[in-house]
Amino acid sequence: MRLIKWYYHISLPVILILTLVVGLTPPHSIDGIQTTGNQMVIAHPETQQEKVTQDNPPSDVQTKSATPKVVSVSTKRATTTPSPSRSQSSKTTATAISTSGTETNSKALVIVNTAKQYLGVKYVWGGTTPSGFDCSGFTKYVFAKNGITLPRISRDQYNIGQPVAFSSLQPADLVFFSMDGDKIIDHVGIYIGGGQFIQASSSKGVLITSLSSYWKSRYLGAKRVL
């Protein structure tokens, strides 16, 4: 019994001293092994790596993977309207001109036929109706029947339209003359083709006349009003 009490009195202070000594020992780490007091904690490498990642997040360039862009290329060819060739363009233009010429010729024939309807109508100075015509009254009336307005007297009729050479005369062209030989226009008729024109003659009324040497010597020019 005394022995036990003696052991107790001696061991108790020793235990207290050892406890104080151990408690004052600072924790330290060696190669990932952390010691705290009388305990050792092994720091796992993945845990350390995770901590570093959270404290220093990588940049966008490091974290974003390079995703290749897929570019869709259509293999379908664009449909374009081919431009007409030079020959096609020429053909189209020629057709348009031909159509315009056909309409003009048709109008000219109508005017000539209208003029022929009054063959034999007597001459009346200043006349502008089928009751009697003078030369410019006759041309004005015939063209008016076909929707074309001409001035009243021959001299003024010569001032409109397009000039036409004698060799290029076509039906419905107006032909002008100077009957007094003074180069002043005082007579007009309507060319009908074949070297002839229709006029209101002061001696015979409305008739068809050939462009003979007599009339050519008095001829001053022609105009086209279609």
Which residues are marked as active site? 135, 187, 199
Residue 221 and residue 184 in contact, taking contact as beta carbons nearer than 8 Å: no
Report helix, strand or coil for 166. helix
The string over 171-200, giving b where at least 16 C-beta atoms fall within 10 Å of a residue's C-beta and e elsewhere, is bbbbbbbeeeeeeebbbbbbbbeeeebbbb
CB-based contact 189:135 (threshold 8 Å): yes
